[in-house]
Amino acid sequence: MNAGSAMTKGTKPYDVDVAIFGSGFGGLCMGIKLKEAGIDNFVILEKDEMYGGTWRVNHYPGAACDVPSHLYSFSFAQNAKWTRKFPPQQELWAYTQQVVREFKLEPHIRLNTALVSADFDEQLGIWRVVTSKDSFTAKTVVAATGSLSRPSIPTFPGMESFAGKMFHSAYWEHDYNFKGKRVAVIGTGASAIQFIPEIAPKVAHLDLYQRTPPWIMPRPDRKITSVEQWLLQHVKPMQWLYRFLTYLRYEMRLVAFTKLPVLNRLVRKAAVNNINQHIKDPVLRARLTPDYTPGCKRILLMNTYYPTLARENVKVVFDGIQEIRSNSIVGKDGVERPVDAIILGTGFDVQHALGEVEIHGRDGKNLREVGKDGLEAYKGCTVTGFPNFFMVTGPNTGLGHNSMIYMIESGVNYIVKGIKTILDEKLTSVDVKPGVQRQYNSDIQSRFSGTVWTSGCKSWYLTSTGKNNTLWPGFTWEYRHLTKRFDLASYDVAS
Ligand code: NAP
């Protein structure tokens, strides 16, 4: 076993107190808060050659976050130096690096180390972890792999015969020269609407295969002036006030999604105006206008997408794909369109985010099997049958209206308190009671009724059976309140 510098077995019957899987915002926050709680014997496993999570992986042209910069950072590590109101990918990744340095996380991070399996040892109350490099034992484990980490690659008849270039937006090939090429983009989600305006001016022709149009609002982006940066850096109350007001503004969007659907009519009107302002062709306008309620799928923010679709060299194809040939795509409209490169903007496999990793809890229970129809958790953090196991951004903690960083901080607070309880009280295992988890999820599901998310669209928020196990159905401060303390009474405890 090569346990790494943060592993010191000492007198304990295991190597580390905590093994964290994933080094994105969730994994880094976990590390920082463990240190703050006095727990230093932990490792953060990262399968890739660098930490940073989704904002390192997704570096396609135009990648940026649609949550304002000053809200998309840790509350305890605010950054006054954002250059734009909405953070570009490069700045977000640089921010994660700054955080790693500031909180001295580097000795804990093990790069190029993929989790292979984790098995709970009932007798000892520890996890046996196997990675691509070695194996070790951990008292507790935390999955912080995020739900948008496994690209979803669709299959189309004949796809394997395609002789040109093909890649997913999460595997962008910057060396590929788009100049003069005929390009097909499949998908019109959050990623595609950001990279299409970047590549369209370079290509000879772009065919955009749209299955469902998204609702898109203008992105009120602009540069942050140096005066604003100075003020935010030197007048701390101002930084907090600005962040708080931004938080409140975004939190209010939930009212339109859940409580006052009438407000959604205003959103629809603004979004339709956005289409009409840029698209003059009435047929295209109609096909770009969604037929579902705004918010049912994530509302996207972008200024340059519709003007790009109005370009001479861009054609939106609505009828789907019948077949892919070696140098063309045949649409369901029967038209064969020549193509040099296909870019898959087809999103992520949210329901199988852990992929092939084997996580076995009590009695050999496999987490993938348990979650095959949509994983359920308690407070998004613990899963019955998987003692001493925690998740950051687990089931029903996603958001369509505000910053995920806020949810990460809330969940991490709960998990750190849980881990501290296990370690301080020398508990063998802590496993959420099945009845508690069942009741919690039944309450969560009942809250979706009457919201925009059950208004009849198909989205990656839903499992194949239509259950929403992705989103948090309330205000984010409700989740903060729920995760304030670790409720040991909700758990079966062995000591
Ligand atoms: P996405 O929003 O799930 O979009 C995937 C697109 O591919 C959809 O248009 C989907 O159509 C289409 N698609 C999927 N399979 C297809 C198939 N077999 N044939 C034809 N079309 C197909 O994925 P994404 O754009 O990568 O974004 C994923 C999530 O990442 C976002 O929702 C967001 O949470 C996050 N993200 C956030 C930001 C940000 O600014 N914060 C930026 C980028 C991404 P349907 O709609 O019909 O399924």
Q: How far is the CA of 70 from the centre of ligand 1 (A)?
A: 25
Phi, psi of 403 (to 5 degrees): -80, 130
| pLDDT value, residue 4 | 45
Positions in the chain whose pLDDT score sits under 70: 1-10
Measured from the Cα of 156, ligand 1's closest atom is 18
Rounded CA-CA distance 304/297 in Å is: 20
Rounded CA-CA distance 36/20 in Å is: 16
**Phi and psi based region of residue 242 (left: phi greater than 0; alpha: psi -120 to 50; beta: remaining):** alpha
Measured from the Cα of 188, ligand 1's closest atom is 9
pTM > 0.85: yes or no:
yes
CA dihedral 358, 359, 361, 363 (to 10 degrees): 0
Helices 89-102, 25-36: crossing angle, 10 deg rounding: 20
Q: Is the dihedral of CA 112, 115, 116, 119 positive or negative?
A: positive
Helices 236-251, 226-234: crossing angle, 10 deg rounding: 110
For ligand 1, atom 33, name the residue with the nearest CA.
190
Q: How far is the CA of 193 from the centre of ligand 1 (A)?
A: 9
Measured from the Cα of 212, ligand 1's closest atom is 47
**From 191, 215, 298, 470, mutation site for ligand 1 pocket: most ligand atoms within 8 A of C-beta:** 191
Phi, psi of 70 (to 5 degrees): -70, -5
Q: How far is the CA of 164 from the centre of ligand 1 (A)?
A: 23
Nearest to 403 by CA among 180, 254, 255: 254
Q: How far is the CA of 254 from the centre of ligand 1 (A)?
A: 21
For ligand 1, atom 16, name the residue with the nearest CA.
346
Which residue, chain included where needed, has tokens 């996207």?
300
3-class DSSP assignment, residue 204 = coil
Rounded CA-CA distance 458/258 in Å is: 18
Can you point out the beta strands (E) in 95-232? 109-110, 115-121, 126-131, 135-143, 165-168, 182-186, 205-209, 216-217
Q: How far is the CA of 302 from the centre of ligand 1 (A)?
A: 14
Q: How far is the CA of 194 from the centre of ligand 1 (A)?
A: 11
CATH 3.40.50.620 fits domain 159-220+248-344: no
Which residue, chain included where needed, has tokens 């998987």?
386
Query: What one-letter code names the amino acid at 86?
Result: F
Q: How far is the CA of 171 from the centre of ligand 1 (A)?
A: 15
| pLDDT value, residue 3 | 44
Q: How far is the CA of 331 from the centre of ligand 1 (A)?
A: 20
**From 207, 211, 309, mutation site for ligand 1 pocket: most ligand atoms within 8 A of C-beta:** 211
- Longest CA–CA span in the chain (Å) reads 74
For ligand 1, atom 26, name the residue with the nearest CA.
347
CA dihedral 74, 67, 376, 47 (to 10 degrees): -60
Q: How far is the CA of 348 from the centre of ligand 1 (A)?
A: 7
For ligand 1, atom 27, name the residue with the nearest CA.
190
Show the tokens assigned to 418: 């849980």
Q: How far is the CA of 40 from the centre of ligand 1 (A)?
A: 38
Q: Tell me whether strands 115-121 and 126-131 are parallel, antiparallel or unpaired.
A: antiparallel
For ligand 1, atom 18, name the residue with the nearest CA.
154
Rounded CA-CA distance 185/208 in Å is: 5
Tell me, yes or no, if the two domains 16-150+349-494 and 159-220+248-344 fold the same way: yes
Task: List the beta bridge partners of residue 209.
Answer: 186, 317
Measured from the Cα of 298, ligand 1's closest atom is 32
Query: What one-letter code names the amino acid at 41?
Result: N
For ligand 1, atom 38, name the residue with the nearest CA.
65
CATH superfamily of the 16-150+349-494 domain? FAD/NAD(P)-binding domain (3.50.50.60)
Rounded CA-CA distance 199/196 in Å is: 5
Measured from the Cα of 346, ligand 1's closest atom is 7
Q: How far is the CA of 34 from the centre of ligand 1 (A)?
A: 34
Q: Is the dihedral of CA 395, 400, 404, 407 positive or negative?
A: negative
Domain ranges of the chain: 16-150+349-494, 159-220+248-344
Q: Sheet with 182-186: list strands edge to edge.
A: 165-168, 341-344, 182-186, 205-209, 314-317
Q: How far is the CA of 332 from the centre of ligand 1 (A)?
A: 21
Instruction: Sort 155 into a burial class: Cβ within 10 Å, 0-12 / 13-18 / 19+.
Output: exposed
Task: List the beta bridge partners of residue 18.
Answer: 42, 140
For ligand 1, atom 31, name the residue with the nearest CA.
190
For ligand 1, atom 4, name the residue with the nearest CA.
189
Rounded CA-CA distance 236/76 in Å is: 12
Q: How far is the CA of 6 from the centre of ligand 1 (A)?
A: 38
| pLDDT value, residue 355 | 80
Residue 408, Cβ neighbours under 10 Å: how many?
23
Q: Are 78 and 233 in contact (CB under 8 A)?
A: no
Rounded CA-CA distance 232/71 in Å is: 13
Rounded CA-CA distance 207/188 in Å is: 12
Query: What is the overall mean pLDDT for the chain?
Result: 95
- Ligand 1: which residues within 6 Å by Cβ? 65-67, 148, 154, 169, 186-192, 209, 211-212, 298, 345-348, 460
Classify residue 192 by its DSSP letter. H
Measured from the Cα of 398, ligand 1's closest atom is 34
Q: Are 78 and 70 in contact (CB under 8 A)?
A: yes
